[in-house]
Amino acid sequence: MYQFNYHKPESVGEARSLFQDADDPMYLSGGMTLIPTMKQRLAAPTDLIDLSGIPEMTGIDVSGGKVTIGAFTPHNLVADSAQVRGTLPVLAEVAGLIGDNQVRNRGTIGGSVANSDPAADYPAAVVGLGADVVTESRTISGDDFFKDLFETELKPGEIITKIEFPVPTRAAYRKFPNPASRYAVVGVLIADFDGTIRVGVTGAGPCAFRASGIEEVLNDNLDPAALDGVEVPDAGFNSDLHASAEYRAHLVKVMAKRALEDLLNG
Amino acid sequence: MKISLTVNGEACEVDVSNNTLLVDILRTHLGLTGTHVGCDTSQCGACTVHVDGRAIKACTVIAPQADGMNVTTIEGIGTPDDLHPMQEAFRECHALQCGFCTPGMIMQAIDLVENNDNLDNRSIREGLEGNLCRCTGYHNIVRAIQSVADGG
């Protein structure tokens, strides 16, 4: 790992101005991706701005029909939260399926979402539940947030402070994990908002997206058998040593079917 | 930079560069070589220690993050004459072959048992997702953890 300057601001405003003044800075949240990346010298920021010292960025709030998670909140806090389990159990389930226990004790929701790893779990929830990603200056709709491989709507220096999830009538998440890394080869989250279905997919494409074809079919007929005839086009899907694009497209359908069965039986 | 942290109940101060890893502070600067470095890429879990009672991978924490941390390593949970119940169970069940992964396995196993009820074979195996045993000796490790989870 190359040398870097280290900063630990106590407010979002201070973090922003540190970012502005530095040469080639990066924000550090849980560090579960950034630190391994720096160790491999694939990232070499001149300045690390550690967001762990900003108290208002950690915490869970359930009120006004929403579940709000502070950006610095680690995955296990969400997975084990009685409030989240009671109000939005699918989010606790998604959090509990990320990586391994040690990673879940350090990794944060803001870090995961800002990184836009194509195989991360949380993005499926942001897209599938139609969450709002809140930064220090604006609110970005979950539908518009993920742009491409490791690319988001965030501008340089912008900081996610919290993520607000609306509470659906019911929802379920299923993923096909890579057996070694536990990253999602494909993960599908289905949410039912009073009869309107949303489907968020991670792992399959360069970033998380809504599967509008599946949504259309399920809005007409909320039945796993209805998915048999659905064509999931694999154009632009990821193809690597873990799975071909064609196989990922197949998995989208299989995971959607299983998630829907869970949703209906839940 | 100078950082202060508490390791196994003792206040420590070390003078290290920013890019030093917590596992190197423990092993090189404090001489606590019970915490191992296996893969050094946050996959194998051999470097697992507790921070404020929860398991984390010490190869993926940099020195400035460790400032002020309360760390417990394998050296801090028991002594040869007074083993921690999880260490005792690992010995009793012969839950190790080469022993390299054992400190990390034990630290993660303690977190697992302390934070989960009704552990069974499957949930213990899932709980060990972040720890690799290159001898593939999982069977007895799971047995040892199950015996502690069952209260004996």
Assess if residue A85 is contained within a domain.
yes
Tell me the domain boundaries of chain B.
2-76, 85-149
Burial zone of A264 (CB within 10 Å; 0-12 exposed, 13-18 middle, 19+ buried): middle
Q: What is the distance of C-alpha A76 from the center of its chain?
A: 14
* Distance in angstroms (rounded) separating the CA atoms of residues A48 and A19: 9
Residues B45/B50/B51/B52 CA torsion (nearest 10 deg): 150
Q: What is the pLDDT of residues A30-66, one digit of tens each?
A: 999 999 999 999 999 999 999 999 999 999 999 999 9
> What would the 3-class secondary structure string for A54-85 be?
CHHHCCEEEECCEEEEECCCEHHHHHCCHHHH
Q: What is the reported pLDDT for A104?
A: 97
Instruction: With CA atoms as reference, report the closest residue to A152 among A100, A203, A117.
Output: A117
Question: Which residue in this structure is represented by tokens 């609110």?
Answer: A139
The answer to whether the Cβ–Cβ distance between A99 and B43 falls below 8 Å is no
Q: Position A168: which residue type?
A: P
Residue B102 CB partners (closer than 8 Å, separation 6+): B90, B95, B96
Tell me the ipTM for this assembly: 0.96
- The fold of the B2-76 domain, in CATH, is Ubiquitin-like (UB roll) (3.10.20)
CATH for the B85-149 domain, from 1.20.1530.20, 3.40.190.10, 1.10.150.120, 3.30.465.10? 1.10.150.120
* Distance in angstroms (rounded) separating the CA atoms of residues A149 and A151: 5
Whether residue B152 has pLDDT greater than 70: no
Q: Are residues A123 and A213 in the same domain?
A: yes
Which of A69-73, A129-133, A154-158, A180-184 bottoms out in mean pLDDT, i.e. has the lowest? A180-184
Chain B: residue whose CA lies nearest to A7: B64
The fraction of chain A above a pLDDT of 90, given in percent, is 98
Mean of the per-residue pLDDT values for chain A? 97
Kindly tell me the sign of the dihedral angle through the C-alpha atoms of A137, A140, A146, A148: negative
Q: What is the reported pLDDT for A131?
A: 98
The answer to whether the Cβ–Cβ distance between A100 and B60 falls below 8 Å is no
The answer to whether the Cβ–Cβ distance between B57 and A103 falls below 8 Å is yes
Q: Are residues A37 and A83 in the same domain?
A: no
